[in-house]
């Protein structure tokens, strides 16, 4: 005997609700196979669910589109910071600066390694240390590191901060829509289950084949079990 399977995708959920809603508008209350008051629930829930699905997909699309730009901005900021530190270390090696200038950037005076700049947080933290340290050192009369200058590093770093803020906004919007979708899916699944149960109960006295056809008119989906598929195929 075929078994009923509830929708398991958002597209299928929307289709199930639309089919039931169309029936609710098409038939008079006394001929409807589910409670007439449920039509109002469908009219309230369906637009909310569709709208949030659309907003989520749009937000995800924007996030994916922006990701390439964002990655390039990160790459440039990391590149300029890395080059600045490398140039500073080379100047120390040549004797142009004393090793002690590293302490302006919160780096040990004998530490000639490039700090880890792999994550956004590391990039933010070290970017601020390097820029603030160099600006403070120059204000005290120190010769600036050049090629790249701290001004160029700062331009790339500030572009990264702006991009990071926008990236976080897009990410939060997407997560908000995901969380809302979880709530709406639960509400939607409960309503579809209620409607389908009422439909099947209304048609329970009909012969099996008629009952199945009438239920399918309301959007209920039935599937054959594997053993039944084999049997119908004549094996």
Q: Three-state secondary structure along the chain?
A: CCEECCCCCHHHHHHHHHHHHHHHHHCCHHHCCCCCHHHHHHHHHHHHHHHHHHHHHHHHHHHHHHHHHHHHHHHHHHHHHHHHHHHHHHHHHCCCCCHHHHHHHCCCCCCCCCCCCCCHHHHHHHHHHHHHHHHHHHHCCCCCCCCCCHHHHHHHHHHHHHHHHHHHHHHHHHHHHHHHHHHHHHHHHHHHHHHHHHHHHHCCCCCHHHHHHHHHHCCCCEECCHHHHHHHCCC
Q: Phi and psi at residue 226, in whole multiples of 5°? A: -55, -40
Identify the pLDDT of residue 229: 58
Contacts of 168-171 spanning 24+ positions with Cβ under 8 A: 170/59, 170/62, 170/63, 170/66, 171/63
- pLDDT for 149: 96
Phi–psi pair at 233, nearest 5 degrees: -80, -10
How much is the pTM?
A: 0.80
Give the per-residue pLDDT at 3: 80
- Can you give the pLDDT at residue 224? 81
pLDDT of residue 235: 37
Domain ranges within the chain, ordered by starting residue: 3-230
Q: Going residue by residue through the chain (235 aa), what tens digit of pLDDT does each one get?
A: 578 889 999 999 999 999 999 999 999 999 999 999 999 999 999 999 999 999 999 999 999 999 999 999 999 999 999 999 999 999 999 999 999 999 999 999 999 999 999 999 999 999 999 999 999 999 999 999 999 999 999 999 999 999 999 999 999 999 999 999 999 999 999 999 999 999 999 999 999 899 999 999 999 999 887 766 555 544 3
Q: Which two tokens stand for residue 154?
A: 């700062």
């Amino acid at each position: 005997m075929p078994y009923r399977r509830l929708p398991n995708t958002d597209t299928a959920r929307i289709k199930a609700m639309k089919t039931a809603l169309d029936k609710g508008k098409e038939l008079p209350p006394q001929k409807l196979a589910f409670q007439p008051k449920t039509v109002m629930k469908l009219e309230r829930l369906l637009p909310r669910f569709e709208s949030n699905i659309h907003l989520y997909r749009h937000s995800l699309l924007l996030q994916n589109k922006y990701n390439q730009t964002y990655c390039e901005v990160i790459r440039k900021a990391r590149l300029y910071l890395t080059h600045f530190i490398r140039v500073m270390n080379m100047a120390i090696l040549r004797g142009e600066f004393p090793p002690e200038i590293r302490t302006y950037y919160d780096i040990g005076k004998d530490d000639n390694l490039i700090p880890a700049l792999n994550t956004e947080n590391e990039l933010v933290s070290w970017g601020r240390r390097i820029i603030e340290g160099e600006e403070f050192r120059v204000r005290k009369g120190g010769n600036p590191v050049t090629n790249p200058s701290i001004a160029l590093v700062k331009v790339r770093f500030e572009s990264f901060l702006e991009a990071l803020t926008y990236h976080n906004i897009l990410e939060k919007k997407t997560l908000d829509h995901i969380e809302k979708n979880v709530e709406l899916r639960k509400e939607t699944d409960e309503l579809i289950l209620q409607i389908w149960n009422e439909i099947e109960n209304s048609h329970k006295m009909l012969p099996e084949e008629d009952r199945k056809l009438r239920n399918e008119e309301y959007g209920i989906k039935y599937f054959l079990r594997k053993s039944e598929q084999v049997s119908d195929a004549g094996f």
